[in-house]
Structure 1
Amino acid sequence: MPFFAYKGRNAKGELMQGVLEGADSGAVADQLFGNGVTPLEISPTSRAVTSSGEEESWLDRMFEKKVTSMDVQLFSRQLYTLLKSGVPIMRGLAGLQESAISKSFGKVIKDLRESLDSGRELSAAMRRHPDVFSNFYLSMVRVGEMTGRLEDVFLRLFDHLEFDRDMRERVKTATRYPMFVMIAMLLAMIVVNIFVIPQFVKVFESFNSQLPLMTRILIASSNFMVRFWPALLGFSVVAFFGWRSYINSTEGRMWWDRVRLRIPIAGKIILKGTMARFARSFALSMKSGVPMVQALTVVSQTVDNAYLSSRVEQMRDGVERGESILRTAVAAGVFTPIVLQMVAVGEETGSLDDLMDEIGQMYEREVDYELKTLSAQIEPIMIVFLGAMVLVLALGIFLPIWDLGKAALHK
């Protein structure tokens, strides 16, 4: 439906302005009258409007800071506190909009208020912002609306988002140093091939003798890089965007996500971190009163790995056919025997949600240990790779000079 910018006055005579969505200007006028606002001006608009009613320029929207996961996390906690204290949701959203530090998130809250004013449910209003609220977040809010436990759902969403953000930050912190070292080594190889080896070639040409095999290989690779660097650069750009396009496709993402789990050292961290999010999300869904089949459907959307998501959907299909959660977990082939044993106990005792929470904590502790020892596991590999590169350069560059020195001594 189109958007309309409006100006009007409320019962106190205060000027009100903003943007509403409606079938036509008459529908927007009806919404305003229903909210106690007398419209003065209603006009179609397709541009964003600031909280002061002024239209934003494209330059302002381009440099505007995007909504972060921290904004959504704090919003969940604040909304839980307000609802728990008995504050009406419209008053709570109005207060959150006024105190919002992020302008972009303030606009999101403003749109939520306007959507609620027009008769939408909160989950439907949030669904208008898919880049801010994930499918899992929307599903949980919908469950909270259906069960009347919206404040509890927001508290659990806050805990879930905090856990997820902490997990991602620790992975980034642990991989920052190895990535920096690898990039530095790659740049060093490029500099050596383009600037260093060509200078040694001039010296080697004056020897008038057969150069060692390693030296000839280094010279050939350097000449190739110096001569064809535009083609290599173009090929790298094309390969990068081609790779991005492939892994963004359904088939490519499925293949890459499956391969990622088999990468030495990093694969097991990705698997355990993803399974920790799965267990925490599953426990949260069940504690919120979501039926198991629907919970598995919702949780499959939180697993940021297409292959593992397909395994979760396979579990859901098995449960729909009447199979036990244990049998479907065994068939998925991604859980360890200890986890399967805990699932069996939880299913027998009817406390599967609590045990899934324990499974999430167990995976979280394992990920924490793996991240703490990640540098120690990667350092030997980097040292071997760096030593091999230095050895190749030493043999290729200094061996001819060594042979020339020996020949001069014999003379």
Structure 2
Amino acid sequence: MPGFEYRAQDRKGRPCKGVQEADSPRHARQLLREKGLLPSHVGAAKHLRVKGAVFALGTKLAPGELALLTLQLSTLIQAGLPLEESLRAVAAQSEKNRVSALLAAVRARVMEGHALATALGGFPRAFPELFRATIAAGERSGHLGHVLEQLAVYTEARQASRQRIQLALVYPMILMCASLAIVGFLLGYVVPDVVKIFVDSGQPLPPLTRGMILISDGVRSHGVIMLGVLSVLVLLGRWALVQPRLRLRWHALVLRLPLLGGVLRAMEAARFASTLAILGKSAVPLVDALEIAAAVIGNLTIRHRMHDVARSVREGGTLTQGLEQGGDIPPMMLHMIASGERAGELDRLLARAAEQQEKTLAARIALVVSLFEPVMLVLMGGVVLLIVMAILLPILSLNQLVS
């Protein structure tokens, strides 16, 4: 709840001042009169307002948090509660202070007379452009509660899809880290102690064993330096990806990679179709919806081509023609979109196309993960085999000398 600075007189005519929490200046005056004070000035408390605004401005909501508060707000609005009362109830319901402070800041802007979409626009880190544009369309159409419900379903679906991908990658990542740890342990501690016996014997060592000794010595002597160089390379890579030109080249290169490029293309296509569907259902104009859906795409190469699609539609072309020229949408999705345009049911068929693409994407991710696991096992087995052979070859040489 916002605070208001006041100057007033008490019942004995003595001047006093302070800060009163209230929904509005009028409400603050009413509360002061109930306390027996006669206010002469009531204004927004600047230090409290700035502190709360700065705190809320840096808040970023997780997809699950955004879906939850959207669903709660939709339920309250559809039940007939005014918007400001709904915002207050959702803020009070939240168990996290940062979410409560964010909603209180949004409610304060609504109480000042701003529309909900405009109030949310002051906090772009918490409420993305897609979210704000959809709510703005819902406010214009007078069906804000229904639009909020659709947004909640959309956000939950996006979060569920992201979690499925993350869970699919957990086991391969654990396997890769375990493989690196085991190989590092063998090279750093096991190989030197075992091979030392053959080095002291003075017998010539096989080339594989000498190479393994060099690698082992390098790991033990310069392991910290290697980690430092690797960290610097990672930082340089992150810096390079921040540069627009280098990032664009990297995104174009990733799309040409086997398997991974197809998965990323399918992922972006599903995201584009589902975003365009929710915007269309919310009565957002098609050209504006295309611009917003393009901004949601993560790959810069595909994003630029989708902006070209929006420009083509703005100039009078059809959506299907623009997407065919881009070449990023699978043929099945293109046929469904073309059917939707001809039948006047683009939103419904876009949603079905997005659902179908999500299923295809899940199958591709499962295929990539299923291939990654045996490849990692084979590579790890090959490295361990080389280490074992480096140890066994000197033993076989000694046995031959003895015999």
Report the TM-score, using the length of structure 2 for normalisation. 0.86
Could you say which residue in structure 2 is the equivalent of 1:156? 150
Gapped regions of structure 2 (runs ≥ 5): 8-18, 31-38
Gapped regions of structure 1 (runs ≥ 5): 10-14, 21-30
Which letter maps to 1:243? Answer: G
Cα contact 2:28–2:42 (8 A) shared by 1: no
Q: CA deviation at 1:36?
A: 5.3
Q: d(CA) in 2 for partners of 1:357 and 1:159?
A: 12
Among 333, 343, 350, which residue is 1:349 paired with? 343
Q: d(CA) in 2 for partners of 1:337 and 1:117?
A: 49
2:249 maps to 1:255:
yes
SS in 1 for 2:334: helix
Name which of structure 1's ranges 378-387 and 250-259 shifts more when overlaid on structure 2: 250-259
Q: 1:335 to 1:315 in 2, by over 3 A?
A: same
Could you say which residue in structure 1 is the equivalent of 2:126? 132
Q: d(CA) in 2 for partners of 1:344 and 1:390?
A: 54
Cα contact 2:60–2:125 (8 A) shared by 1: no
Could you say which residue in structure 2 is the equivalent of 1:324? 318
Report the TM-score, using the length of structure 1 for normalisation. 0.84
Note the 1:196-345 alignment, pairs <5 A. 196-345=190-339
Paired residues in the alignment total: 381
Which letter maps to 1:147? Answer: S
2:104 maps to 1:115:
no
SS in 1 for 2:296: coil
Could you say which residue in structure 2 is the equivalent of 1:6? 4
Q: d(CA) in 2 for partners of 1:74 and 1:217?
A: 58
Cα contact 2:59–2:102 (8 A) shared by 1: no
Q: d(CA) in 1 for partners of 2:365 and 2:221?
A: 43
Q: CA deviation at 1:381?
A: 1.0
Among 45, 58, 70, which residue is 2:47 paired with? 45
Could you say which residue in structure 2 is the equivalent of 1:365? 359
SS in 2 for 1:6: strand
Among 20, 25, 45, which residue is 1:32 paired with? 25
Q: CA deviation at 1:71?
A: 1.6
Q: CA deviation at 1:177?
A: 0.2
Output one character per residue of 1:296-315: Cα deviation in whole Å (capped at 9) or x when no partner: 00111222222222221121
What percentage of aligned pairs have identical amino acids?
25
Q: d(CA) in 1 for partners of 2:189 and 2:43?
A: 69
Name which of structure 1's ranges 290-299 and 270-279 shifts more when overlaid on structure 2: 270-279
Q: d(CA) in 2 for partners of 1:34 and 1:41?
A: 12
2:192 maps to 1:194:
no
Q: 1:263 to 1:183 in 2, by over 3 A?
A: farther
Q: d(CA) in 2 for partners of 1:319 and 1:40?
A: 52
Cα contact 2:25–2:43 (8 A) shared by 1: no
Cα contact 2:198–2:394 (8 A) shared by 1: yes
Structure having the larger proportion of residues in helix:
2
Could you say which residue in structure 1 is the equivalent of 2:159? 165
SS in 2 for 1:164: helix
SS in 1 for 2:162: helix
Q: CA deviation at 1:41?
A: 7.9
Note the 1:86-105 alignment, pairs <5 A. 86-105=80-99
Which letter maps to 1:248? Answer: V
Q: 1:407 to 1:248 in 2, by over 3 A?
A: same
Q: CA deviation at 1:240?
A: 1.3
Output one character per residue of 1:237-277: Cα deviation in whole Å (capped at 9) or x when no partner: 21111111111222233233333334444443333222112
Q: d(CA) in 2 for partners of 1:16 and 1:100?
A: 24
Q: d(CA) in 1 for partners of 2:247 and 2:160?
A: 25
Q: CA deviation at 1:97?
A: 1.5
Cα contact 1:170–1:371 (8 A) shared by 2: no
SS in 1 for 2:202: coil
SS in 2 for 1:45: helix
Cα contact 1:293–1:319 (8 A) shared by 2: yes
Q: CA deviation at 1:165?
A: 0.1
